[in-house]
Every structure is written in structure tokens, then in C-alpha cells.
Amino acid sequence: MGDVPEARRGAPARGAARPAEVPGHLPGEAAADLSTLRSHNLGIVLRMLRDHGTLTRKDIEHATGMVPASVTNLVADLAARGLVRDQRGGFGEARGRGRPRVTVEQVPDRVLGLAVRIERARLTAELHSSAGLLLDSSSRTVTHGWGQPGDVAEAIAALIARAATLADAHGGILLACTVTVPGPVGSDNRIADTLEFGWGHLDLVGLIRAAGAPEQLRLDVVSDSCAAALAEHWVLPRPRPGVTVLVGTGSGPSLVGGVVADGRILAGGRGYAGAVGHITVDWRGRSCECGSIGCVSTYVGPDALLASARLTDLAHMAGRAAALDELRARLDRGEKRALDVALRAGDILGAALRSAYDVVNPSTVVLGGYLAGLRRWLEPGIQMQLAPRSEKLAPVTIESGRLGSRAGMVGAARHGLQPVFDDPTIVPALRTDDAAVG
Ligand SMILES: [Zn+2]
């Protein structure tokens, strides 16, 4: 289900409990149901604070339809776990009797998630808090790529140890480590064979645990583009759509993307969903690196675009990013070849998105990475191709990515920290002398 939308419509949140009405003793099963309900309600309150920043207890009552005693009780529970705290400041506008306004906010550094990105010659780590703060970042390069997966697993275990020490220093807990890779990852956390590493199907999580990562740490591997889709979804203007498709992120040679549904990565039954770059646009077309034929990536991927614009030589000399900048400059100057290339790219991308439209029915398509700067020229073609479906059924908004190359890391951290918003009781209570509010 979605995060809190029902709450914002002013109706009681689904399953909102009134703990005060619960009788004293219950058979085992009923007690278990109530504890699930309580976790659910704690999650509703914590997600509201994540999405709105600070709120008064009254705000929470109004939005959820819970009675004051329940809200007070739930906030006290979250505070006892060190997840939220009272903020006294400002004065109530209406009353004006000198009583300071008390708002509730997330404790900024109680629950932390580590995001680690593996690239061909670099390992980057960022430590994020559940309140969205970036607490630490580090990066190391390797000269000849990651020869042995065990080497990268050991390096990640060391990053986890460093993050756990930092979490301790903040009085927080390191909940999760999410590793992103530039390729597909199955639902079993295994990295599928990627051209970048040539590792085959690999249990990286097992290797990282063997290298010393603690058992209780949540450890996940996701594709960088799916993580980027998650991050771009959450920075969209409200109300956020049910389904967001991201295309064009990454720094590699091909077009990658991801799909987010109900605020989470849409991974599909086996984990490989969201590969929008490999939607077929010509079944007798060009061979794709994925093994398929006629994928949209072979026409609209960065290298394909640069080849069409006759900028491949520049890409070899100055790098892909510089060549894409040159394409953009030529478009700004209105050069005919560049315009032809971009307009045709919009058509082809639109045809691929029309296929996606009928499968996942997105309300927003985000053009990320190298496509973000080309939106002006791509959007007319995309909308024209979508029109036969979107005009009859429901429109699609096209947005530019807002996070650039940071999207994957932000999304990875968000993915790892999601469990605390689903069930805040996974965070233990503080010792009583540390609790923030009563
Ligand atoms: Zn492909």
C-alpha cells in the first residue's frame, strides 16, 4: 500500500488502532494481531514525520483519524525508541496565550543506512540517516578493476565497520547496508552476469558476511538504476504518483532505468523488472549487449545517440560526458543533425514507453542522467507516441531527474532504511535515562 495517502485525505488510516480500548488479557493470536496493528500504526506516524518534517500531535490526529490518547501513546513509544522527539519553539497562532507550540520531529541520527556503490574502478560509500541527512561519505579507487569479488567484499565489510563506529558515536544504530551495482540483480540478491565485472551469478552478500559484516545488519544488493528510480520518485512534487518510470540514468554506454510502484522499487517476481532500456522497439533491429535484439537502448542509449550525432570520435578523445555536453550545445544552437537525432530519439523512446505504459501504467516518467538535459527535444516525441493510450486513458507527466549522479546512492540508502518505516519496533527502546521525551 502507499505511504499515508489515505491519511492525507482526512479519513482514518487503514487499520488505525485505539490501544486504550484493548482489554487487558488476550489469547495468543489476538495479542499477536494487536502487536502487528501497533507496529502498523507506529509506522504510519513515523512515515508522516518523514514526509512532512515536523507535525503537532493534533496534525497527526487530524490526518489519521486516531484519537488523541492513541497519538500520544504512539509518539511516546517512538520517543522511547529514540526515533522521534519533541521540539518546542514558536507559539500557537490561534491561541497566542504564551504556550509554546510543541511539534514532533524525527531524531535526525538515530537510525542510519549505509549506501555503497560498486563501479568498475571505484567504491563509494555514503552514510545516511532515516531523517535524510548525509552523515559521512568516502570513496576509494582501484587501478585495475575488481579482479576478485572477495576483494570488494572485504572492502565493503571495512566500510560497514567504519559506519557502525560512526553510528555509535552518534548514539544511533546502523540498520542496513545497501550495495548498488551497474547491472541486474536477482531477488535472491545475486548479481547477474554483468559486462562491467564478469563475475557471473555471484552471492556478494554471502561474501560480505564472510568478510565480517554483522549478522543482524540488513544487507541488500540492488541495481544502481533501480535505486536511482526510487530516489527520483521521492523527490517528485506532491502528490507523488503511484508508479514512476525512470529512464536514462547511469554513466555507462547503455540506457538503463527502473520502476517504482507505491514508493518501492518494483523488482518483479525474480528481481529483474524495471529494465526499461531493454524494451524491444524493433524485433529485427540491432543486437544489444543484453543478448536481445532491437532494444531501445541500442537506439537511444548514450553511445547510440553519440554515434547518430557523429560524436563517437569526440567521446573516445574527451570522454562520453564531454561528447554528450557537445550534443546538448549543438541542440542549443539549433544544428540540424543534432535536432534530427534528438527528435528521432524522442519518437523511439516514446514507442518504448508506450509499451511500458500498458504494463505498469506510470503517471510520471522521469528522464534522468544524460536524458535530463535533452528533455526539451525528447518530450514532444514521447508525448506523441504515448498519445494514443494516454489521451484515451490517463496522461503521463514527463519530468527531468533532479538528483543527477547522486540518485543511486540516495535511493540505496532509502531502500535500506524502509524497514524502520514499515515497523519501527525493529528499533529497540533506549535505556530510560537516554529517552528524548516522555
Ligand atoms: Zn537489451
Handedness of CA 222, 226, 232, 233 (dihedral sign): negative
What's the CATH number for 111-226+408-426? Answer: 3.30.420.40
pLDDT of residue 26: 61
Rounded to the nearest 10°, the torsion over CA 15, 76, 411, 352 is: 20
For ligand 1, the distance from its centroid to the CA atom of residue 298, given in whole angstroms, is 7
pLDDT tens sequence for the chain (438 residues): 334 333 333 344 444 444 444 444 566 777 778 889 999 999 999 999 998 989 999 999 999 999 999 999 999 999 999 999 999 876 555 555 567 789 999 999 999 999 999 988 889 999 999 999 999 999 988 776 667 788 889 999 999 999 999 999 988 999 999 999 988 888 888 887 665 677 778 889 999 999 999 999 999 999 999 999 999 999 999 888 889 999 988 778 889 999 999 999 999 999 999 999 999 999 999 999 889 999 999 999 999 999 999 999 999 999 999 999 999 999 999 999 999 999 999 999 999 999 999 999 999 999 999 999 999 999 999 999 999 999 999 999 999 999 999 999 999 999 999 999 999 999 999 976 554 444
Measure 296 CA to ligand 1 centroid, in angstroms. 7
Q: What is the pLDDT of residue 21?
A: 41
Q: The domain at 236-401 falls in which architecture?
A: 2-Layer Sandwich (3.30)
Q: How many whole angstroms from 283 Cα to the centroid of ligand 1? A: 11
Locate 252 and state its grid cell. Answer: 555507462
Alpha helix ranges (H) inside 65-186: 68-80, 149-169
What's the CATH class of domain 5-107?
A: mainly alpha
Terminal-to-terminal C-alpha distance of the chain: 31
Cα 199 to averaged position of ligand 1 atoms, centre (Å):
19
Residue-level pLDDT at 389: 95
Q: Ligand 1 centroid to 328 CA: how many Å?
A: 25
Query: Rounded to the nearest whole angstrom, what is the distance from the C-alpha of residue 380 to the centroid of ligand 1?
Result: 24
Distance 217 CA to ligand 1 centre (A): 34
Distance 279 CA to ligand 1 centre (A): 7
H-helix or E-strand spanning residue 181? strand 173-181
Q: Which helix (H) or strand (E) holds 364?
A: strand 364-367
Q: Is the dihedral of CA 194, 382, 402, 318 positive or negative?
A: positive
What is the structure's pLDDT at 341? 97
pLDDT of residue 46: 97
Q: Which three cell numbers stand for residue 52?
A: 512532512
Q: In this predicted structure, what is the pLDDT of residue 183? A: 85
pLDDT the model gives residue 58? 96
pLDDT at 1: 38
- Ligand 1 centroid–CA 287 distance in Å is 8
Distance 165 CA to ligand 1 centre (A): 42
| 370 CA from centroid of ligand 1 (Å) | 18
Task: For residue 366, report the distance from its CA to the centre of ligand 1, in Å.
Answer: 20
Q: Is 10 helix (H, G, I), strand (E, B) or coil?
A: coil
Distance 292 CA to ligand 1 centre (A): 5
Torsions phi, psi for 19 (to 5 deg): -55, -30
Q: What's the 288 CA to ligand 1 centre distance in angstroms? A: 4
φ, ψ dihedrals at 157, nearest 5°? -60, -35
Q: What is the distance between the alpha carbons of residues 425 and 417, in angstroms, rounded to a whole number?
A: 13
Measuring CA to CA, which residue among 311, 310, 249 is closest to residue 274? 249
CA of 277 to the centre of ligand 1 (A): 6
Contact between residue 157 and residue 215 where contact means Cβ atoms under 8 Å apart: no
CA distances from 287 to 42, 206, 295, 297, 341 (A): 50, 34, 8, 10, 20
Distance from residue 289's CA to the centre of ligand 1 (Å): 6
Q: Do domains 5-107 and 236-401 have the same CATH topology?
A: no
Domain boundaries, the chain: 5-107, 111-226+408-426, 236-401
Distance 297 CA to ligand 1 centre (A): 6
Distance 349 CA to ligand 1 centre (A): 14
Q: Output the pLDDT for position 310.
A: 97
How far apart are the CA of 276 and the centre of ligand 1, in A? 9
Query: Strand pairing partners for 125?
Result: 116, 138
